[in-house]
Amino acid sequence: MIKLKEKIEAGAVKALKELYALDVETVELQQTRKDFEGDLTIVVFPYLRASKKGPEQTANDLGEFLVGSIDEISTFNVVKGFLNLVISDAVWASQLAEIGNTPNYGIQPEGDETILVEYSSPNTNKPLHLGHVRNNLLGYSVAELLKAAGKKVKKVQIINDRGIHICKSMLAWQKFGEGETPQSSGMKGDKLVGKYYVEFDKAYKKEIEELISQGKEEKAAKDEAPMIVEARQMLKKWEDGDAEVVALWEKMNGWVYEGFEKTYKNLGVDFDKYYYESNTYLLGKKVVEEGLAKGVFEKDPDGSVWIDLTAEGLDRKILLRSDGTSVYMTQDIGTAIQRSEDFELDGMIYTVGNEQDYHFKVLFIIMEKLGYDWAKNLYHLSYGMVDLPSGKMKSREGTVVDADDLMQEMEDTAKAISEELGKTEGMTEDEKATLYHMVGMGALKYFMLKVDPKKRMMFNPEESVDFQGNTGPFIQYTHARIKSLLRRGNAEGIWPAEGTPKYTELQPSERELVKLLAQFPEIITTAADEHSPAVVANYVYEVVKAYNALYQQLPIMTDDNKEAIIFRLNLSSSTAEVVKTGMRILGIDVPERM
């Protein structure tokens, strides 16, 4: 398809030159809109000056020239200034054959470029919630998308395992935990630690209130409450390497990691390498010292280190506190450099919420100033918040949608619907469980990935996620339906068939579908360039809709013409392949039956 497009574009350039002595670099070809006859359209308005003729006449001239010089174009029609070219059915038929013969159709062979994709990167004091789900699905999917576009990809995350917030859960556990463990309580490790994080907050608040009632200012109360004072002492001990504190920290973090692993596995995401802030922040400090020596950064009289970005239209940003301790930015610098030492990377993608747009803008400038050649290929995959109908999610108000609960609910819904529709007859318990998980997760993932990453999105837990229309299950269902047909064709011994079927006059719905399938490789490339799984999601939906229209209109197994049956089964098979590949990029599995 790309080749054909290029051929026609070249033909049009030549036509303009010969007809009107006009030199243009390229001629823009676009898909003909559905309401008009034709496949590809050239808009001739830009060439009227050179042709010195009206739009219709110009389009006619061009059309005749192209029909005469390019075999694949059978006819053309002109509507106002739009030249619609009709590609012959034989070309579409051979396109389909080519698609069917291409292994891994749509996937580009792996090139040399290596890209790191960072995603997830949670705090280790709270369980994962809806916002993390969006992050994980996006990050994973963009990684898959880049792979499909021929990049070498490494999936990584940075675990925020250092800082006062960790000490809060640790302290509360010490005080109130009475030795409770995931084993003794039966709680998932991350949930258990999260529980103590909340406990801390409760106790801390109570102390603040008491202090205020004793006449303290609110600010002083917050600063002097025994809980926070103790937490700070604990952080200090941790930084000094106090054996007892470090042991507790390791134990509780271990619980959290175990809990997270379960959630990741359920979500179907994975990582090639984990980074821990507790390991990289020191490297960051070192690099800042070096940058200081190079003159990239500057030191204030109090000893704090800054970068001045006023020339770039930004502010001055702190990199080291006056006491020499590191900040968020320092750690990110260290992490980035650590990664470039671990991998020969050409670029990096950070999947982080849009509240950190500014942070990454600054980080990227810093990396460039420090002189790393990969710095120009850093990209912040910035996504909008997930809102609930009640507004923002707030852990303090208990309006958080927990990731594990959410996934469970999706599976339960999938189960209820499947049973209601009576789709599970003759399936083993294992098969049913696999299907419910696949469909539930399909609904959730598609729901989150079909919208443009940078937009805020609404999630209404009351209404739950749809299973009809533009949804994951709808797409999965179509795939299962195709597979059922192919199984039947196979059982009847008519498919797969040798050679290309003698079927040259396509029905409109068939032509429509082949056209769509032919666009798949281009879609992958665009989606990867834009870092947008949504482009793939919406494309797959288009394909599936076109297939269902055909399925309803035309008999597939029961046509009188055997060649037509084979052609349609080939078409069905290629559709299933494209759907499967597209959905795989979204991290969604498709079932053989449902």
Positions in 19-78 near RNA (CB under 7 A): 32-33, 35-36, 38, 41, 43, 45-46
The number of residues that bind RNA (CB under 7 A) is: 91
Nearest Cα residue to 524 out of 91, 270, 151, 153: 151
For residues 164 and 227, the answer to whether their CB atoms sit within 8 Å is no
Nearer to RNA, 326 or 570 (CB): 326
- Contact residue for RNA among 18, 272, 357, 505 (CB under 7 A): 357
CA angle 402, 406, 414 (to 5 degrees): 175
Cβ-based nearer residue to RNA, 374 or 520: 520
**Residue 286 or residue 455: which is nearer to RNA going by CB?**
455
Dihedral sign, CA of 521, 526, 530, 532? negative
10 Å Cβ neighbour count for 407?
A: 18
Longest dimension (CA), the chain: 94
Pick 33 or 294: Cβ nearer RNA: 33
What residues contact 344, with CB distance under 8 A and at least 6 apart? 114
565 φ, ψ to 5°?
-60, -45
Smallest distance from RNA to CB 340, Å:
21
Q: Are 126 and 260 in contact (CB under 8 A)?
A: no
Tell the residue number behind the tokens 């940078």, with chain if given.
Answer: 454
* Cα Rg of the chain, angstroms: 30
Any idea what DSSP says for residue 3? H
Residue of 175, 216, 584, 593 that binds RNA (CB under 7 A):
593
Binding to RNA (CB under 7 A): which residues in 163-182? 163-164
Under rule CB under 7 A, residue 282 binds RNA:
no
Using CB under 7 A as the binding rule, the residues of this chain from 297 to 356 that contact RNA are 300, 302, 304, 313, 315, 318, 321-323, 326-328, 331, 354-356
CB of 439 or CB of 444, closer to RNA = 439
User: Residue 505 Cβ, how far from RNA at the closest point, in Å?
Assistant: 18
3-class secondary-structure state, position 207: helix
Are the C-beta atoms of 540 and 583 separated by less than 8 Å? yes
| CA atoms of 274 and 266, how far apart (whole Å) | 18
- Interactions with RNA, residue window 416-475 (CB under 7 A): 417-418, 421, 423, 435, 439, 450-452, 454-458, 466-471, 473-474
Whether the CB-CB separation of 401 and 459 falls below 8 Å is answered with: yes
Nearer CB in complex with RNA: 177/518: 518
237-256 residues in contact with RNA (CB under 7 A) are none
Closer CB to RNA, 198 or 554, in the complex: 554
Distance CA 348, CA 153 (A): 9
CB of 425 to RNA, least distance (A): 11
By beta-carbon proximity to RNA, the closer residue of 177 and 277 is 277
Binders of RNA among residues 388 to 407 (CB under 7 A) are: 392
Both structure tokens of 521:
């490789």
- Reduce the DSSP state of residue 273 to 3 states and report it: strand
| Binding mask of the shown chain, residues 497 to 536, with x at each position contacting RNA by CB under 7 A | -----------------------------x-------xx-
Q: Rounded to the nearest whole angstrom, what is the least distance from the CB of residue 420 to RNA in the complex?
A: 8
- How many residues belong to the chain? 594
Contact 133, 95 (CB under 8 A): no
- Per CB under 7 A, which of residues 133..162 are in contact with RNA? 160, 162
Residue 403 or 435 with smaller CB distance to RNA:
435
Among 5, 80, 251, 286, indicate the residue that binds RNA (CB under 7 A).
80
Stretch that binds RNA, among 5-13, 62-70, 89-97, 555-563 (CB under 7 A): 555-563
Q: Report the half-sphere exposure of 556 (CA within 13 A, side-chain side).
A: 25
The residues in 364-393 that bind RNA, with binding defined as CB under 7 A, are 384-385, 392
Each residue 479-498 as x (binds RNA by CB under 7 A) or -, in order, gives -xx-xxx--x----------
Contact pattern from residue 117 through residue 136 relative to RNA, giving x for each residue in contact according to CB under 7 A and a dash for the rest: ------x-------------
- 251 sits in which H/E element: helix 243-267
